Amino acid sequence: MSKKSFVEENISMSAQSPLHLTEGQKACLRLVVQHQTSKEIARTLGISPFTVDQRLDAARRKLNATSRKDAAKLFAALDQSGIYQPFVYETPMLESADDAVSQSTLPDGWRRRLAKIISFISVPPIGGERHELSSREILVFALNLSFFSTLVMAFVVVVLTGTLRLFQ
C-alpha cells in the first residue's frame, strides 16, 4: 500500500465539502506557500501579525490541516486544480443607519433628528476588521457603550427591586 501525501489525501475530502475561505485567509495562505513568516505577511497585507495568525488558524481548521504549511499546500493544490469554488451566496451588506432612516416614511426634519440620535448611540464594528476611526471617535464609542450599559444595569436593578417589594 503506497503512502499518499497529505494534500492527496485531503483533496478528495475537500472537493466533496465546499470550503468557505475568506479573501484574507486566501491571501495569507498564498504567502505562506512562498515561505513568508507572519510578520512578513503582515507587512505585505498591511495588517497585524496577530490577525495573520488568526486568519491562518481559521483556514487551517476549515481545511482540516494539522499545520499552517499543510493548509497552504492543500489550498495551493485546490487553487491550481480548480477544485475549490468560492462561496456563491454571500450575506448582503448590512445597511447603515442613514440608509435605514432615509427609507422610512418620516418627514425630513424627523429623519434628520433620528439619524443624529442613531449616530450618537452607534457601536463600533465587531469582528476585528480595520477601521478608520480617530482616537476621539473611539473614545466616544467607548463612552456610549459604558453609558448605555450603566443605564441597562440601573433599569434591571430597579425592576428587580420593585419585584422584591411587590412580594414582601
Tell me whether residue 91 is in a domain.
no
What is the C-alpha radius of gyration for the chain, rounded to an integer number of angstroms? 24
Convert 25-62 to b/e letters by CB count within 10 Å (16 or more is b).
bbbbbebbeeebebeebbeeeebeeebbebbbebbbeb
Mark whether 103 and 70 lie in a shared domain: no
Count structural domains, the chain: 2
The pLDDT tens digits along the chain (168 residues) read 445 554 455 444 444 334 688 888 989 999 999 989 999 999 989 999 999 999 999 988 888 888 888 888 888 887 776 554 555 554 555 445 445 544 556 677 777 777 777 666 665 555 656 667 788 888 888 888 899 999 999 999 999 999 999 888
pTM reported for the whole predicted model: 0.41
Tell me whether residue 49 is in a domain.
yes
Mark whether 65 and 119 lie in a shared domain: no
Tell me whether residue 31 is in a domain.
yes
Residue carrying the nine cell digits 498564498: 30
3-state secondary structure at position 137: helix
